[in-house]
Amino acid sequence: MDMINKFYSSAVQTVSTLSGVLPGNNVTREYEVLEQVCTAGVGLMWKVYNGHKKSTKQEVSVFVFEKKSLERWSKDDRETMLETLRRGVQQLTKIRHPHVLTVQHPLEESRDSLAFATEPVFASLANVVGDNVRSEKKLYDVEIRHGLLQLFDGLQFLHQDAKIVHRNISAETIVINKNRSWKLFGFDFCIANQPATDGTPHWPFREYTTSLHVLAQPSLEYTAPELALNSVNTPDSDLFSLGVLIFTIYSGKPLKMFGSDYSSFRRYANDLNQRKYPPMNTVPSELTESLKALLHPSANLRPKLHELKQIAYFQDVGVKTLSYLDSLYQWDNLQKSKFYKGLPQIIPTLPHRVNLHSILPYLVKEFVNSPMIPFVLPNVLLIAEMSSQREYCDHILPHLKPIFKLTDPIQILLIFMQKMDLLLKLTPAEEVKQSVLPLLYRSLECDMPQIQDLCLAVLPTFSTLIDYNAMKNSVLPRIKKLCLQSSNVSVKVNCLISIGKLLENLDKWLVLDEILPFLQQIQSREPAIIMGIIGIYKIAMTNTKLGITKDVMAHKCIPYLVPLSVENGLTIAQFNTIIGLIKEMMGRVEQEQREKLQQLSTIQRDNKPKDASEILANELENSTLSPNGSSNGNKINDDMFSGFTVGQPKATSAAAIAPSKPREQLKISHNTISAPPAARPDILSSMMQSNLTGLGTTAVAAAPPPATTQMPSNNGWHSANPLVMNHQLASPQASNNNSFSLDDLDPFAGGRPSVGAPKSNNTNGANMYTVQQPTVNYIYPTGYSLNSIQQHQQQQLLGKPSQAPTLQPQTEPLLPTDNQNLNALSQQDILNFLN
């Protein structure tokens, strides 16, 4: 949190400073100024800010000098210093060289500031040298060696071509740009060549004076001794300053600090004349002798720049590689291709920051040269492999986007396919959809089988990044087209394998509508292709999300797979795989179809209406048969009378009476209004005959009525039992030929003679009733046993005279046993019946 607060306060301070300085300066009209990154120049008075051009968004650095920093100086010193700064920037603008800082916008002056724009800058050398430098900004040894070589080239150009002596080579005037190249800066005190009359070069001497401010003159720490001893100024003086700079880089400070004490500097110059050097323990051993030579008090004995380049200190492989990149624009394509082929062996040996900031910028510049892209691209991707995602997105991806769209040379697609896993890992998902997916589409449509195989292999790895519409309308159609049109078996097999891997990310209907019909369009019958097809079918069938339906398996899959199993080129293992899949499909079809039919049968049976005959048949089928349990040998089989028995079964019986399932009882209703006794037919015999007919071996054989007995028609009689059809019940009409009357069995005949009592004779043959009785429901419980009725029926069968059946008195109360049910008898009816 403290770091965030510190950064926030620094940003606020920067904005407030710029808001008070830069308004009114013309640089702000074209450039957007952002945060401060470093300081540079004499006394580090130039503040360097990041920025970009408003119109083109080109990245720049803006150098700003605040005039208020000179307020503590005298007026003459202020004017001298401002003039020196203006002159230095104007001189810098005139020089164009790779190792001289490039000016993008000339110096602009306002009332409060001086400002100009340059190429992007990382830091000045003074910002990265010393003990207080942060670790991420400290220089690697290869960077120092390469940077010194770059300074040698810059000074050599300055001395030989521009004929200029810098006079102020120091850590403050060396700037490191964004690509970690060292650049010359701070031409405030430079002197141009003024040739003599004979043509010899001559650089005017300017003596150091103590009357001027120390920042208005070259730094005494880097000044050559001949200026104090011999009052001469030559390009060799810059070599001495270069030697002091090398010592400062390794030790963190110059040989000696003088400030504005010119007399101390003169004494030190005399010591150097006697070859008295400070300890150089921090300097590499291969550089120590060359460094002492640069610090020689005699200017003409100092080594030349081209000689310094040849020492062992600069023969490192990394230094040579970086030096070759500096001069790359001078080479032809053949030389470049040889260099780029060997670069992948060197890149891993260099620090990542060197690869990212020193090598990568030169590589991406070659992207404008199409023949060189196949040689450069592997090196770029190798650096990307060692980068973080943020570094990749900031430094590499913007340069790769235009290359994603290229198809010529064809090696570009091949390289991208080989490194597709790296691209998918580092590229954001949105960029994958916009840049990488179109690259895959072009790879599928190219004519090179190797690229097609690689594309098909990597496509499933990022199928989750492909949306449904792109998968359905772009990816799958291209794979299907390639599989059907390609003549290469390897490509066809890879198409099927790729589809098989993509199935997990597809839905069921896309597989049924697009994939399975496509498989049947493949005409090739090579074993590898057949096994690819089998694999897709197996995945689609076993995957719970996909699941081929029963109908599809029965109508399309099995008829297509069976002919594949008899292809001649199959091995026994391949044949077993196909047959196993067919059997598995058949088993699933059988199981699902059987379950379906069983469910349909159950539903139809439950919903089908039942008629009376079916109900009766079901009841008879489910009823339990009762064995012979009476002491006199008669069978108690009639369900209608199973509720009562004359005698209790003895314990010594052969078999106990099995409890029967309670059945619905027979209800008979009749109207007793003015019904004479003589007009009541033998309803019990008729009822027993109609209900007991067809009951098999368990039914009691009912004797038919005599031939003279006429079946009366139904008149107002109905049954509440669904097992008894109403039309089978006899109507209560008079029958002269039958002496049996319902009154004989009427248990509710109040005021009439009991059963077995003599009846009064009526000439009209009817029993007259004067009392109107209510409608009575006769309820006959099941299991009721009437021996007399059975005997009467047997006599009728044997042709004996018919006698009215009488109820035998029971020795025990007519109550139902534990396993019998006295259905629907009310309590009052039972009491009346028992009395």
pLDDT of residue 258: 85
Q: To the nearest whole percent, how much of the chain has pLDDT over 90?
A: 36
295, part of any domain: yes
Average pLDDT, the chain: 76
DSSP bridge pairs for 779: 667
563, part of any domain: no
User: Which band of pLDDT confidence, cut at 50, 70 and 90, is reported for residue 436?
Assistant: confident
pLDDT of residue 830: 56
Mean pLDDT of 475-500: 90
Same domain, yes or no: 625 and 772: yes
pLDDT of residue 59: 93
Separation between Cα atoms, residue 361 and residue 542, nearest integer Å: 52
Distances (CA, A) of 173 to 67, 100, 127, 130, 511: 20, 11, 11, 16, 69
Residue 737 has pLDDT above 90, yes or no: no
* Domain-terminating residue out of 105, 121, 137: 121
pLDDT of residue 170: 94
pLDDT of residue 274: 75
Range of the domain at 375: 340-447
Separation between Cα atoms, residue 738 and residue 710, nearest integer Å: 9
Question: DSSP for 541-553?
Answer: HH-TTT---HHHI
pLDDT of residue 367: 92
Residue 734 has pLDDT above 60, yes or no: no
* Domain-terminating residue out of 104, 121, 138: 121
Mean pLDDT of 624-643: 42
pLDDT of residue 330: 83
Mean pLDDT of 247-267: 88
Mean pLDDT of 508-522: 88
Mean pLDDT of 309-338: 90
Mean pLDDT of 814-829: 48
The more confident residue out of 691 and 84 is: 84
Same domain, yes or no: 112 and 133: no
pLDDT of residue 376: 94
pLDDT of residue 608: 72
pTM of full prediction above 0.75: no
103, part of any domain: yes
Question: Which DSSP category does 100 fall into?
Answer: B
Same domain, yes or no: 394 and 418: yes
Encode pLDDT of 688-704 as tens digits. Answer: 444 434 434 333 333 44
464, part of any domain: no
686, part of any domain: yes
CATH number for the domain spanning 301: value is 1.10.510.10
Same domain, yes or no: 234 and 305: yes
pLDDT of residue 783: 43
CATH number for the domain spanning 60: value is 3.30.200.20
Residue 10 has pLDDT above 60, yes or no: no
pLDDT of residue 811: 41
Separation between Cα atoms, residue 64 and residue 117, nearest integer Å: 9
- CB-based contacts of 639, cutoff 8 Å, min separation 6: 623, 660, 663, 782, 783
CA geometry: angle at 54 spanning 52 and 60, to 5°?
A: 20
Secondary structure of 444-503 in HEC code, one letter for each residue: HHCCCHHHHHHHHHHHHHHHHHCCHHHHHHHHHHHHHHHHHHCCCHHHHHHHHHHHHHHH
Same domain, yes or no: 819 and 683: yes
pLDDT of residue 382: 95
Residue 279 has pLDDT above 60, yes or no: yes
Same domain, yes or no: 359 and 395: yes
Same domain, yes or no: 88 and 148: no
pLDDT of residue 5: 42
472, part of any domain: no
The more confident residue out of 276 and 344 is: 344
The per-residue b/e assignment along 286-298, b for 16 or more CB within 10 angstroms, e otherwise, is ebeebbebbbbbe
Encode pLDDT of 125-139 as tens digits. Answer: 999 987 778 777 889
Residue 614 has pLDDT above 80, yes or no: no
Residue 643 has pLDDT above 80, yes or no: no
Query: In the structure encoding, which two tokens stand for residue 796, read together?
Result: 């009728």
813, part of any domain: yes
The more confident residue out of 177 and 734 is: 177
pLDDT of residue 195: 82
Same domain, yes or no: 183 and 276: yes
Number of structural domains found in the chain: 4
pLDDT of residue 832: 62
Same domain, yes or no: 111 and 131: no
pLDDT of residue 623: 65
Same domain, yes or no: 132 and 115: no
Nearest to 420, CA basis, from 385, 447, 446, 375: 385
Of 277-291, 315-329, 613-627, 669-683, which range is least confident?
669-683
Query: In the structure encoding, which two tokens stand for residue 616, read together?
Result: 């009766």
pLDDT of residue 786: 44
pLDDT of residue 397: 93
Phi/psi of residue 264, each to 5°? -65, -40
Q: Is 823 in contact with 662 (CB distance < 8 Å)?
A: yes
User: Which band of pLDDT confidence, cut at 50, 70 and 90, is reported for residue 681?
Assistant: very low
Same domain, yes or no: 702 and 617: yes
* Domain-terminating residue out of 418, 447, 476: 447
pLDDT of residue 461: 81
pLDDT of residue 117: 95
256, part of any domain: yes
Same domain, yes or no: 101 and 176: no
Residue 149 has pLDDT above 60, yes or no: yes
